[in-house]
Structures are given as structure tokens and as C-alpha cells.
Amino acid sequence: MATYVLIHGAGSDSWYWHLVIPRLRGRGHEVIAPDLPCEDDSAGLSAYVDLVVEAIGDRRDVVVVAQSLAGFTAPVVCQRVPVDLLVLVAAMVPAPGETAGDWWGNTGVEQARRAADVAAGRDPDAPFDPLSVFLHDLPPDVLDEALRHPPKEESAAFFKEPWPLTAWPDVPTRFLLCRDDRFFPADFQRRVVAERLGITPDEIDGGHLPALSRASDLVECLERFRTESVR
């Protein structure tokens, strides 16, 4: 069996994975879901990587799963410890030397989001609403719990530290995009993944937070990627 290492996105913590963890453990896997130091404004990318590497220790058969902002952290982890598979879920894909702060302008995500809003009949000039952007497809019971679990402030230092790798790590990589993602629209992700990783992403229905909206479907995808990677 594998060790799944689940890395949450910005302003979050391990609670994000609370529906995924028991499903993976029920299949016999070990699961590690570290809480990143997002509320420590001095903690940059290197601090995030150090924390995840320490949590992995000397484990083997490791599958790293990175949500959203964790797309910056996970590849660096893969340079530090042996990893069998890296899965990016609705994630940011960094370029060498790029900061997470510069990624938005470099990729054109704001323009892509605006175009997607217009195409879907949403007001592109409406105030940012997390309920509409992130939580729109959560089941009612999960939504109620999410609203009682407010987001954290993300470390400003993280967005200033350049991504340190000169190339993508030599580890099998899969990308899972969410077709109904309002934060990183699907067409935008298809383009960025092709340009920066040279691969075709796999796709799943749902919005930006599939571990909350479609936990069972997400686990099925992760298990399929894992079994395909060892053939």
C-alpha cells in the first residue's frame, strides 16, 4: 500500500482533506495531511517544503497530492524525498524562478476568470464572493461545516519567494482539473498545463475544492493514477 501525502491549498488546513482521509485509509493506505504554517507571515515556500519533508520522514511508496497553491510546494518536496507519483489537483503550475505572487499576471488567470464569468452569465465585476467562487457545489451538510471553518490568512512571505527549481522534478506527474472550477477555469488550466508541463490534464466534474464536493470521485481518480503509475 502507499503513503498518501495530502498538501492543502491557501488559507486552509488539513480539515480540507477530512472526507478524503478516511476513504484512503479504508483502502489500506497511510495518509499524512500536514497543517502548513500559513498564518506565520514569515513562513515562505522553503518553510512549507521543510514541514512536508519532515512529515514524510523516511517513508517510501509516497504519492504526493497538491491542491491549488500547493502546486508550488509539492514539486520541491519531490526533489527532497523519494516520491513515486505527484498529483496536482486544481493547482498552480510554477515556472523556474517565478514567485507565487507573479504567477497570476504571468499566466493571465484574472483575464481567463473574467472571460469564464461572462460566458457563464455571471457578473465579472461583482465583488469577490467565496461562496460563489469556491463553495458553490458543496453538498449542504459539507457547506454548513465549511462555513463554520473560516479560512486562514495566507503567509505573505510565501508569495515572494521564487520557485527554486530549474526544471520540473523527474517524477511521474498527473494533473486533475475541475471542469466547473470558477477560480482557475478549465480552459485556462488546459492551456497552462500544456504549456508548462507538456501533458494533457485529466478532468473531473465540480468546482475548485473537489475534496469537499466530490471526495469519493477524487479518491477514485487518485487510486486510478496510482495503479496506472506502477504498471
Tens of pLDDT, residue by residue over 15-48, are 999 999 999 999 999 999 999 999 899 999 999 9
Other Cβ atoms less than 10 A from the Cβ of 81: the count is 18
Q: Are 208 and 176 in contact (CB under 8 A)?
A: no
What is the model's pTM? 0.97
Domains of the chain: 3-229 (3.40.50.1820)
Residue bearing cell 496536482: 88
Q: Are 209 and 16 in contact (CB under 8 A)?
A: yes
Write b or e for each residue in 175-212: b if 16 or more Cβ atoms lie within 10 A of its Cβ, otherwise e. Answer: bbbbebbbbbbbebbeebbeebeeeebeebebbbbbbb
- The pLDDT, as a whole number, for residue 231 is 61
* pLDDT above 90: residue 230: no
- Using DSSP, state whether 192 is helix, strand or coil: helix
Considering only the C-alpha atoms of the chain, give the largest distance between any 2 of them, rounded to a whole number of Å: 50
The count of C-alpha atoms lying within 13 angstroms of the C-alpha of 149, restricted to the half-sphere facing its C-beta, is 16
> What's the rounded Cα separation, in Å, for the pair 192 and 197?
8
- The pLDDT, as a whole number, for residue 3 is 98
Tens of pLDDT, residue by residue over 96-135, are 999 999 999 999 999 999 999 999 999 999 999 999 999 9
> What's the rounded Cα separation, in Å, for the pair 211 and 154?
20
Tens of pLDDT, residue by residue over 129-169, are 999 999 999 999 999 999 999 888 899 999 999 999 999 99
